[in-house]
Amino acid sequence: MTARFLMCMLLLSSLSAAAQVVEPYRVPQAAIDVTDLESDYAQSPSRNSHHIGEYAEQMPTFAGGLEGLLCFLYRHNRFAAPSAAYPAGRVFVRFLIDEGGRVRDARLLKPLHPELDAEALRLVRLLSGHFTPGYNNKRPVAVPFSMPVQFPAVVPDKKQLKRCQ
């Protein structure tokens, strides 16, 4: 019994070792013609004015910074106070901040409740025009942005609350 087990183990270990042998990579000898390939570097931003990047050298900022954004959301949120009629949580929204600082293409990433989802989209659309656009090479570019909207609204601390009003 032990001899059969050892023979099976020896046979199985040799099969797995044989399966790991790989042919070495061979470099192609013929030259590759790259003149027909399109390049992102070939397109200048002036020809492609609606260029969308995942990041920018200077990211878009809200007028008033993060504190201003929190105050804006708190002041305009219709569901600022806790209620038993809807759940507490976050709605994640993704949108595009275009070259003019306007909000475009707002959509839900993670919904919570139909009324809260509609309110989150309304709040994000109200942000339009309050952003400075992102910049690449000193030119404004459209940048995607994701943001959670908290329900009930995050209440700013006492100092911030005075500045919010």
What digits encode the pLDDT tens for the residues 119-133?
999 999 999 999 999
- Whether 75 maps to a domain, the answer reads yes
Q: What are the angstrom distances between the C-alpha of 68 and each of 14, 17, 71, 124, 127? A: 67, 63, 5, 14, 11
Q: Residue 109 sits in which domain range? A: 61-158
What is the rounded CA–CA span in Å between residue 15 and residue 113?
A: 56
Distance CA 54, CA 96 (A): 10
- For residue 86, tell me if it sits in a domain: yes
97 located within any domain: yes
Answer whether residue 82 is part of any domain.
Answer: yes
Number of domains in the chain: 1
- The whole-angstrom separation of Cα 125 and Cα 5 is 70
Look at residue 28 and give its three-state secondary structure: coil
* 94 touches 144 (CB < 8 A): yes
Is the pTM of the predicted complex or chain greater than 0.85?
Answer: no
147 inside domain: yes
User: How far apart are the C-alpha atoms of 7 and 23, rounded to whole Å?
Assistant: 29
Q: Answer whether residue 73 is part of any domain.
A: yes
Contacts of 37 (CB under 8 A, 6+ apart): none
In a domain, 137, yes or no: yes
Q: What is the pLDDT along the chain (165 residues), one digit of tens a residue?
A: 666 665 656 555 555 444 555 566 565 565 555 455 444 444 444 444 455 656 688 999 998 888 889 889 988 999 878 888 889 899 999 999 999 999 999 999 999 999 999 999 999 999 999 999 999 988 999 999 999 999 988 776 766 666 676
- Per the domain annotation, does 149 fall within a domain? yes
What pLDDT, in 10s, does the model give residues 21-48?
556 656 556 555 545 544 444 444 444 4
Beta pairing, strands 103-110 & 143-151: unpaired
Q: What is the pLDDT of residue 48?
A: 42
Check which CATH number belongs to the domain holding 152 and give it. 3.30.1150
